[in-house]
Amino acid sequence: MISIIFSLYACSKELVSQYTPYLKKLGLTYTQYIVMMVMWESVSITSRDLAAKGEAVKDEALKIPPCIASCVGLNEEEFKMLYILTYKALNNMENVKCKNK
């Protein structure tokens, strides 16, 4: 099996750096942006302050994913495959204990 640890780490780091200029305009860090994305997708989050900050930048922030997608250079099918495989790996790691632990 080819080790993908470094490539996944490097890809993640580069992806965050691609987001930075867009998020800087909104006054958000990448971590704050992720929280906002979860908040917009889940109605159950009730923090008033977070909701007010989030609603103030929502329209502009939702324009960012297509910009980033164009930088990544994958077609729609490749993005779907990447999504599926990434979440499969994540779920496997969360649900399976490594034998060497």
Residue 6 lies in a domain: no
Average pLDDT, the chain: 79
Predicted pLDDT of residue 88: 85
Give the model's pLDDT for residue 51. 66
Q: How many domains does the structure of the chain reveal?
A: 1
Percent of the chain with pLDDT strictly greater than 70 = 76
8 within some domain = no
- Dist. CA 91–CA 27, nearest whole Å: 32
Measured distance CA(67)–CA(19) in Å, rounded: 9
What value does the mean pLDDT take over residues 5-9? 74
Residue 83 confidence (pLDDT): 83
Question: Looking at the domain assignment, is residue 53 inside a domain?
Answer: yes
In a domain, 79, yes or no: yes
Q: Which pLDDT band holds residue 25 (cuts at 50, 70, 90)?
A: very high
Is 74 inside any structural domain? yes
Is the distance from CB of 57 to CB of 28 less than 8 angstroms? yes
User: The domain containing residue 69 runs over which residues?
Assistant: 14-95
52 domain residue, yes or no: yes
* Assigned domain for 2 exists: no
User: For residue 40, which amino acid is it?
Assistant: W
Q: In this predicted structure, what is the pLDDT of residue 30?
A: 92
pTM higher than 0.75, yes or no? Answer: no
